């Protein structure tokens, strides 16, 4: 049993002072506020629960900053996708692992302690295992989600040549999951990811969901683009979220990634289902997707988490800041997302996103509480932005001050993986990443 003492800690009920946390193995055994430190290890600043990154396409990290040049007369998600296809065609398993390792270290250093890898570049088959290797090497917990990707568009249109590496069927996805179960541990989980309603026909979707383990997460892209909504309505007679709610057993196992374009009945229906909305604010802004109706969704008690998606950002604080700011721009007012737990936006968003992300990954994490995994994000108590800060002001400084170096130490399942802003593998990983990108861009 190890004990840690924090002057300030973000608990499910809000910020608490003089918190003693007992850790047994990788889990939290007890949490006591208003305690004495005794012989416990003193943390070097305020501590928050680790954040889950619920939506990752790791290879796209190497594209960050490369696509922000006008590529078409009308540049949007669909023109960006063509650039992504070109980039992906050259990707080798070794390069994929190098990119993922760099990404996962960056995530850890900013406060993500687990990731859901939505994996659709299936060929060669070792690509999925390379992401598992990268996660184990770097110490981040991973939920692997092999994707079912059968068609190029609605009405079962055959895959294009440039999509050949995505090809899969229900059996191949389930075989991947079965193979991964041999590698299952506290740090590794599995689920399934029917890619989207445009890439998976209704029968295959229902077959995959029926065959999946009843505890496995199910993630699917939905309603990211208005064109997707229009084409889905023509092909299936319903909007994407509407169709899923009416035709699938959507419940707490499900994560609908993006769900950007919903009507009022879809907002309330998704919230009532218990599923998680997987929001990726920096990617959705980068691609011009649109703005999620967060105020109405939270008003209906909807659950949500955050993801890096294309990884133009690797910082959960930046995702949460952008999530709030776009709501302010739409509503033309400030401090929109607060809760009965806290009137502070930073506190509210961190607690809610951490809890929603944990659910989406199928993990007991996302809170500093007894029985949860010991995932700690320790801020630098001596940083200028932490000066004289207490309680809600700490989370607000993290989310809204814009500082990129507030995270000092990070623990995953009782093990320190970042100490004094340094990860043990970061120099080697950076060199391998640089080599991989150089090869891809040659």
> Which positions are annotated as active-site residues?
258, 309
Instruction: Give the span between the Cα atoms of 312 and 337, in whole angstroms.
Output: 24
The set of residues, in sequence order, having a beta carbon less than 8 Å from that of 60 and lying 6+ positions away, is: 84, 309, 310, 311
d(CA 114, CA 246): 31
**Would you tell me how many other CB atoms lie within 10 Å of the CB of residue 403?**
16
Phi-psi map region of 221: left, alpha, beta (phi>0 left; psi -120 to 50 alpha): beta
434 token code pair: 């640089």
- Cis ω before 124 (30° cut-off from 0): yes
The token pair at 21 is: 């946390």
Structure-derived torsion over alpha carbons of residues 117, 219, 147, 84, reported in degrees to the nearest 10: -70
């Amino acid at each position: 049993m190890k004990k840690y003492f924090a002057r300030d800690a973000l608990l499910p009920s809000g910020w608490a002072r003089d918190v003693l946390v007992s850790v047994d193995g990788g889990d939290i055994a007890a949490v006591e506020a208003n305690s004495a430190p005794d012989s416990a290890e003193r943390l070097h600043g305020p501590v928050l629960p680790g954040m889950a990154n619920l939506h990752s396409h790791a290879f796209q990290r190497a594209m960050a900053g490369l696509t922000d040049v006008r590529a078409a007369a009308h540049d949007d998600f669909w023109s960006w996708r063509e650039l992504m296809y070109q980039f992906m065609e050259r990707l080798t398993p070794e390069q994929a692992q190098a990119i993922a390792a760099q990404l996962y270290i960056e995530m850890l250093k900013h406060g993500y302690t687990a990731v859901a890898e939505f994996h659709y570049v299936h060929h060669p088959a070792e690509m999925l295992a390379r992401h598992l290797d990268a996660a184990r090497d770097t110490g981040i917990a991973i939920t692997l989600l092999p994707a079912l990707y059968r068609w190029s568009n609605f009405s079962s249109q055959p895959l294009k040549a440039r999509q050949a590496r995505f090809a899969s069927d229900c059996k191949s996805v389930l075989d991947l999951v079965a193979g991964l179960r041999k590698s299952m541990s506290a740090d590794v989980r599995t689920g399934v990811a029917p890619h989207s309603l445009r890439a998976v026909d209704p029968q295959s979707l229902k077959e995959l969901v029926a065959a999946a383990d009843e505890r496995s997460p199910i993630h699917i892209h939905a309603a990211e683009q208005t064109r997707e909504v229009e084409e889905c309505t023509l092909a299936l007679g319903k909007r994407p979220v509407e169709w899923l709610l009416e035709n699938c057993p959507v419940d707490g196992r499900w994560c609908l990634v993006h769900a950007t374009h919903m009507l009022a009945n879809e907002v309330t229906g998704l919230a009532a289902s218990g599923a998680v909305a997987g929001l990726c604010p920096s990617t959705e802004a980068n691609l011009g997707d649109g703005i999620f109706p967060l105020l109405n969704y939270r008003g209906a008690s909807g659950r949500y988490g955050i993801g890096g998606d294309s990884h133009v950002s690797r910082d959960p604080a930046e995702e949460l800041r952008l999530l709030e700011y776009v709501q302010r721009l739409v509503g033309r007012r400030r401090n929109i997302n607060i809760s009965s737990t806290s009137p502070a936006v930073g506190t509210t968003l961190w607690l809610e996103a951490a809890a929603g992300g944990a659910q989406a990954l199928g993990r007991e994490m996302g809170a500093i509480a007894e029985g949860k995994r010991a995932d700690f994000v320790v801020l630098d108590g001596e940083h200028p932005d932490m000066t004289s800060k207490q309680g809600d002001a700490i989370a607000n400084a993290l989310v809204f001050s814009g500082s990129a170096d507030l995270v000092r130490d990070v623990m995953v399942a009782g093990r320190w993986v970042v100490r004094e802003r340094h990860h043990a593998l970061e120099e080697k990983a950076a060199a391998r990443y640089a080599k991989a990108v150089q090869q891809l861009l040659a």
